[in-house]
Amino acid sequence: MKPALSRRRFLQGSFAVATLASTDPIGWPRAHAAEGSASTPDWVDKPMRWAQLTLVEDDPGKFDPKFWLDYFQRTRSDAVCLSAGGCVAYYPTRVPFHHRSQWLGDTDPFGELVAGCRKLGMVVIARTDPHATYDDMQQAHPDWIAVEADGKPRRHWASPELWVTCALGGYNFEFMTEVKREIMSRYHVDGIFINRWDGSGGCYCAKGPVREFIPIGGQQVRVLMPEAARPKRVHLLAAGKTVPTRREGRFLMLTVPSILDHEVVAIDL
Segment 256-269, tens digit of pLDDT: 998 877 888 999 88
Q: How far is CA 47 from CA 120, 125, 152, 183, in A?
A: 17, 16, 47, 26
Distance separating alpha carbons of residues 115 and 188, to the nearest angstrom: 11
Q: Which candidate, 260, 220, 254, places its Cα nearest to that of 234?
A: 254
The CA R_g of the chain, rounded to the nearest whole Å, is 26
Angle, CA of 97, 102 and 103, to the nearest 5°: 140
Summarised one tens digit per residue, pLDDT across range 84-130 is 999 999 999 999 999 999 999 999 999 999 999 999 999 999 999 99
The CATH number corresponding to 46-194 among 1.10.10.10, 3.30.460.10, 3.20.20.70, 3.40.50.720 equals 3.20.20.70
Stretches in the chain below the pLDDT threshold 50: 1-37
pTM to 2 decimals?
A: 0.64
For residue 130, count other CB atoms closer than 10 A to its CB: 22
Question: Domain-by-domain residue ranges, the chain?
Answer: 46-194, 214-268
Q: In one letter, which amino acid is 68?
A: W
Task: Give the pLDDT score at 210.
Answer: 52
